[in-house]
Amino acid sequence: MPRRHVILALGLLAVTLVAVAFACRLWQRQQLTAAALAGVAPSPDVSRWPAEFARRLQADESAIRAGRQPTEALARLATLYFANGFATEAGRALATLRQLDPQDARWPYLVADLKLRAGDNAAAEVALREVTALAPGYAPAWLKLGDLLQERSAFAEAERCYTQAAAATPGEVRAAFALISFEAFHGKRGDPRQELLQLVAAHPGIKPLHDLLAQMNEAAGDAAGAATQRRLAAATPRYLPLDDPWIDELYMDCFDPNRLSLLSGKMEREGRYEAAVARLNRAIALAPAEPALRNSLAQVRIVANQPEEAVTVLRQAVVDCPDDPALRERLAMLLRTGKRHDEALAVARAAVARWPQNAAMHTALGQALREAGQFEPALATLRTALELDPTQAEAYYATGYCLFATKHRAEAKVALGKALEIRPDYAEALQLRAALAIEEGDVAAAEDPINRLMALRGGADDTRLLYAALHLIKGNLARDAGQPDEAARLYRAGLTVFPDFPHLLREAGLLARQQGHADEARRYFQQGITAAEAQGNAAQAAEFRQLLAQP
């Protein structure tokens, strides 16, 4: 065979093989592209969305059409739609991804989230079952599946889900709580109350934990324990945190400030402050002129106990959004509660000058004047505020405060009464109303606001003090009425809430001695000495020593 034929043959063979290989690859790619294209929904109108969002949609869609890693491009497209609330488009892309990339549990997980949002629990359950099979270590999927199963009374399966969630995230409060909560209502094993006590000790200040413990204490006949837990629940706005990375991480793909703001609110309630701030900062970057976002950011900083950062946020906000009165009001409030009276007054005065018909601005100025101790001008300003809008609880409270401070007690009571009519849970107004009543020895008038305060924020020192003072007065009245046992009971009740209240310790000790309970009296006086010494009150300690020394 001629050599040139051999060379030609080998060349043709090589060309053929390369062409076949190339064609196979092209064919495969085209099959994949066609499959991925099935997941691309007709493009929605995004002309009013940020250009970057439209550009990214375009880029991903083009990549799919060009067959450039179409599965990856479809995944980006799906998450982009998902993160921005385009449920129809996201749903279609995710359905295709479940076929193209069946081992990735994120796709059915996102599908489940979409279904849950639209109230389609049956479809969500199917998707979540798939997720838990693919990624048994992902606790949020177990928790959501458990909740769904519990809702439809499939308790045995739900219990298994919660157990799996707790096992997947040992030490994490959400999963542990879900299991304990389930056991408390439907379970048949263990001692959920003990477990909950441990969980509360490890994670104090989470509302659902205290709420559940209150119920369990009540069921166990522990009324005092239940009341304590209810007070703690009322005192905290914090909900259970749920770290859900597969969804949480998508916020960087979100171009909707409204959605970001809602996400941040959820995270704030869960105590995930930095995550909330990150979302709000992104939202502000997208909508820099929107004052509500600045207000939300300041709110997160306040809740996170970062008042200086909150002031910084609001200072910048009033520059960037000069036409929003609420921001000025908030800034004035923050400055006055931070005792920066001159700054607060300056901000509030400027706001009143700018919006003279806005009742809230007058109230803000009245509050700033009140806080600065300028009660007469405050009263004049608050009068204007209430003429403009007579439904402002704050204005009534501030009026009551100023009237009290200027010795107009009867008028102060009326104003506080109005504030509490509008806002029955107004803690500051309740406190002032109770203090007024205590000062006057009016037990009947003090009782209701103090009870309400105890329910609202029973752990606060000022509330405990009022409670103890009320019980001191009631105890003294009972003692003077010749009911020593009742008096002793009332003193004890006061000391349960405020064990170091010296007046109660003194009276309780004296009464105990009078009743012939020498040991008990000694304990009270001893406790009085310890408390006085701890507070550095030498004179009081000396008085208790003297009482202790008396026969």
Partner 1 sequence: MSPSKPQSSFPAWLGALCVVAVVALGVVGYLLFRQSATIASAAPLVSAPSAAKPAIAYEPIPIGFPVEGNPVITHVAIADLDQDGLQDVLVCDGRTDRIGWIRQFPRGVFTEQVIGDPIAGPAHVSVCDLNGDGRPDLLVASMGKIMPNNDRIGKVVVLENLGGGKFRTRVLAENIARVTDVRGVDLNGDGRVDLVVGQFGYDQGEIRWMENLGNWEFRSHTVLNQPGTIMTPVADYDGDGRPDFAALVSQDAEEVHLFRNLGGGEFRDSVLWKAKDESWGSSGLDVGDLNRDGRPDLVFSNGDGFNVGFTEPSPWHGLQWLENRGDGNFAYHRIGDMPGCYSPVLADVNGDGFTDIVAVSGFNHVNDAKAVWMTAWLNDGHQQFTPVPLAHEPTRLITLAAGDLDGNGVPVLVTGGFHAYPLASHMSRVTLWRRK
State the minimum distance, in angstroms, from the CB of residue 35 to partner 1.
Answer: 12
Task: Give the gyration radius of the chain's Cα atoms.
Answer: 33
Q: Where are the alpha helices (DSSP H) in 338-408?
A: 341-354, 359-371, 375-388, 393-405
| Residues in region 194-253 near partner 1 by CB under 8 A | none
Binding-residue pattern over the window 273 to 312 for partner 1, x denoting contact by CB under 8 A: --------------x--xxxx--x----------------
How many angstroms separate the Cα of 106 from the Cα of each of 37, 93, 102, 379?
Answer: 20, 13, 10, 60
The minimum distance between CB 290 and partner 1, in angstroms, equals 7
Does the protein bind partner 1 through residue 271 (CB under 8 A)? no
Q: Which of 348, 282, 286 is nearest to 314 (CA)?
A: 348
- Structural contact between residues 451 and 471, judged by C-beta atoms closer than 8 angstroms: no
Instruction: Compute CA distances 310 → 161, 287, 332, 333, 348, whole Å.
Output: 41, 19, 12, 11, 17
User: Both tokens of residue 72?
Assistant: 């990856």
* Closer residue to partner 1 (CB): 280 or 437: 280
Q: Is 259 in the site for partner 1 (CB under 8 A)?
A: yes
Q: What mask, x for binding partner 1 by CB under 8 A, covers residues 23 to 62?
A: x--xx-xx--xx--x----xxxxxxx-----x--xx--xx
For residues 80 and 56, is the Cβ–Cβ distance under 8 A? yes
Using rule CB under 8 A, residue 66 touches partner 1: yes
Three-state DSSP class for 118? coil
- Taking the complex as a whole, the smallest distance from the CB of residue 130 to partner 1 amounts, in Å, to 18
Composition of the chain by helix, strand, coil, percent to 5? 80, 0, 20
With contacts defined by CB under 8 A, name the span among 6-14, 199-207, 372-380, 496-504 that binds partner 1: 6-14
Residue 427 found at the interface with partner 1 (CB under 8 A): no
Residues 105-124 binding partner 1 (CB under 8 A) are 116-120
Residue 85 in the binding site for partner 1 (CB under 8 A): yes
Nearest to 529 by CA among 511, 507, 547, 551: 547
Name the residue nearer to partner 1 (CB basis): 67 or 475.
67
Binding range to partner 1, per CB under 8 A, among 80-88, 446-454, 464-472, 531-539: 80-88
Q: Could you give the CA distance from residue 528 to residue 525 in angstroms, rounded to a whole number?
A: 5
Name which of residues 129 to 158 contact partner 1 (CB under 8 A): none
Q: Rule CB under 8 A: which residues touch partner 1?
A: 1, 5, 8-9, 12-13, 15-16, 19-20, 22-23, 26-27, 29-30, 33-34, 37, 42-48, 54, 57-58, 61-62, 65-67, 84-88, 116-120, 256-259, 261-262, 265-266, 287, 290-293, 296, 391, 393, 421-424
